[in-house]
A and B are shown apart, each in its own frame.
Chain A
Amino acid sequence: MKVDPHEDLDERTLVELARADPEAFAQLYRRYFARVYAFAYRRTSVPEIAEDITSATFERAFRSLDTFTWRASGFGPWLFRITSNELVDHYRRASRATSDRALRAAEALHGAGPPDPADAVLGRDAAADVLAAMDQLSPRYQRALSLRYLSGLTADEAAAAMGTSKATMAVVVYRATRALRRAVKAAPE
């Protein structure tokens, strides 16, 4: 049976090795893949987009590994910060590319087919409305809310991912939640 020599290494050693050893990076990937994908999926509800975000996260992480400085919070918060940035970028691009008018034109061209499963989910619950309104927020607020609520990180880890203290993070999350409530109210029915 093939044994991965990196499997038992602690995370700090693994990160150091990963700067030069692709197999060590692959081990980090295996440890975090499911969590990163879950984070991206919870934010987007679309498997294909979650896959894109996951790919982009690990590619960027690999390319930026030399800029990573080890901290007590570990590798995870740094990686999730990349994911949250990718999510913000995704929604920024999506809002540029897909205006309401373009959507209507596409609908007219293609007709209304059976809805995607993601559409069905989005149409059903309050959480979906809240997520849909999130991309109206500033990038900082989007990052704070997604890291705090959707990433699966603890409050401490989420603060580390934001690069703030826990107290500052709490304030940012409070303000972001308030802004999100306004965005939900302002959203068309």
Chain B
Amino acid sequence: MNDEVRNALEDAGRREVPEPRDDFATGLEQRLLTLAKNSPPDAPPQPARRPSVFGLAAGLVAVALALAVAVTILGNDDRSSVAFELSDSVNVVVVLADGTTLVDPDGLLLPDGAVVQVGVDGSARVGDIVLTAGDTATIVDRRLRVDRQPRSAVVSPNRPTTTPSHSTPTPATSKEPSENPPAPAPPASSATPTASPTRPTATPTAAPDTSPSSTPPSDVQYLRLTARVVGPSEVRVTWERIRGAHRYILIGTRSRDGPAATPRYPGSWIIGRFAKPPAEALTFTVRDAIVEVKVRVIALAADGSVLTRSRIVTLTFPR
């Protein structure tokens, strides 16, 4: 009778659980701390009476927040929680809700829970809002909160420290903010693979996909994706603009032992949604235990249908 079902449930409850990713655990903790510092818990029904433990320090924090935090509500152009496009990013780190860290991900549509940190000499735009060095922007309940830091308190964001080429903040002069950045060509460092101490590899594993899509065969566009390993746990990615693309979805799969699964959309890990290809290559991190990552970019039309897909690039991390 119900015994079989109950036994199955008990089995499920005893199932071994793999260790959660360390970078997820620490990333989430950092994000919660940032959220806690930027937005205190929701007020109870009678907000006039605050818990006494807030005390003087909390009062000061509230005043500082009132003065320094600009809360801006922008329109939502999508059915999903994605609403804010990051652009013109220089020396910017974005931490997503799942702990994924992206460096200078121009064009990224910031989902709920994303925290944007601007480092020394850095800048970025989120919609019409200009972020400058030291600012922290958080997407909370589909709203953009900007915490403007005093200039004297500007510190470099906690960028991944394992990437030689990215641990040094990008000079502010390396990229002038542009309203319409040209279609990105892979940067020189990306076009010419350089030897890495760990000799990681990137291998295209599939030709451009020509399976059925909404694009007529005569108008097939190839979505060129370049991805390579740039550090023990970091991947640098860039791709080219596609005519008619409304969104780009960067998807991936990860494996701790053996080949990673084929990335599928929908279904696979979504690394980020972008309104346009990053003006320069973006970098994202994977956890230390990962030995292989496969990435692919999906270009979507305005109606959400798949316009075209890039090849799959396989990246291996010697461990």
Q: B265 near A181 (CB under 8 angstroms)? A: no
For A34, list chain B residues within 8 Å (CB). 20
Given contacts A126-B8, A130-B9, A150-B13, contact A106 B25 (CB under 8 A): no
Contacts A20-B54, A55-B113 given; indicate if A48 touches B32 (C-beta within 8 A).
no
- Write out, one digit per residue, whether chain B residues 289-312 have a CB within 8 A of any chain A CB (1) or not (0): 000000000000000001000000
Tell me the dominant secondary structure on chain A's binding face. Answer: helix
- With A51-B24, A127-B12 known as contacts, the answer to whether A42 contacts B17 (CB < 8 A) is yes
Given the known A-B contacts A54-B28, A113-B264, A114-B261, are A38 and B17 also in contact in the complex, defined by CB atoms under 8 Å? yes
The yes or no answer to A37 lying at the interface (CB within 8 A) is yes
- Chain A 69-96 interface 0/1 with B at a Cβ cutoff of 8 Å (1 = within): 0000000000000000000000000000
B15 touches A127 (CB 8 A): yes
26 A-B pairs in the complex with CB atoms less than 8 angstroms apart: A19-B51, A19-B53, A20-B51, A33-B28, A42-B17, A48-B98, A51-B20, A52-B97, A58-B28, A59-B32, A62-B35, A66-B51, A67-B44, A97-B266, A110-B211, A110-B264, A116-B267, A125-B8, A126-B11, A127-B8, A129-B8, A145-B9, A174-B2, A180-B5, A180-B9, A181-B1
User: Considering only CB atoms and an 8 Å cut-off, how many residues of chain B contact the other chain?
Assistant: 53
Q: Known contacts A52-B97, A130-B9, A181-B2; is A113 also within 8 Å of B29 by CB? A: no
Cα distance, A19 to B54, chains bound together (Å)? 8
Across the two chains, which residue of chain B brings its CB closest to A174?
B2
Closest beta carbon of chain B to A41's beta carbon, Å: 5
Is B259 an interface position by the 8 A CB rule?
Answer: yes
- Evaluate contact between B8 and A113: CB separation under 8 angstroms: no
The answer to the question of A186 belonging to the interface, with a C-beta cut-off of 8 Å to chain B, is no
Contacts of A48 in B (CB 8 A): 98, 269
B115 to chain A, nearest CB (A): 12
Q: Which residues of B contact A181 (CB under 8 A)?
A: 1-2, 4-5
Residues of A within 8 A of B6 (CB): 149, 177
Using A37-B20, A51-B21, A177-B6 as known contacts, say yes or no to A130 and B12 having CB atoms under 8 A apart.
Answer: yes
CB of A64 within 8 Å of the partner chain: yes
State whether the Cβ of A139 lies closer than 8 Å to any Cβ in chain B: no
Knowing A51-B98, A66-B42, A177-B5 touch, does A125 contact B20 (C-beta < 8 A)? no
Q: Which residue of A lies closest to B259 (CB)?
A: A114
Q: Does B253 contact A (CB under 8 A)?
A: yes
B9 touches A149 (CB 8 A): yes
Cβ of B267: which chain A residues have Cβ within 8 Å of it?
Answer: 106, 116
Interface code B92-128, partner A: CB below 8 Å = 1, 0 otherwise? 0000011100000000000001000000000000000
Cα–Cα, bound, A64→B40 (Å): 10
B216 contacts partner chain A, Cβ-Cβ < 8 Å: no
> Smallest Cβ distance from B17 to chain A, in angstroms?
4
One of B2, B53, B113, B306 near A59 (C-beta < 8 A):
B113
* Chain B residue with Cβ nearest A102: B266
A30 interface contact, C-beta 8 A: yes
B61 — nearest CB in chain A belongs to which residue?
A20
A17 touches B13 (CB 8 A): no
- Give the complex CA separation of A10 and B301 in angstroms: 54
In the bound complex, CA of A147 to CA of B235 (Å): 39
Is the CB–CB distance between A59 and B211 below 8 Å? Answer: no
Which residues of chain A are within 8 angstroms of B12 by Cβ–Cβ distance? Answer: 42, 127-128, 130-131, 149-150
Least CB separation from A128: chain B residue: B12
Q: Please name the residue on chain B nearest to A21 by beta carbon.
A: B53
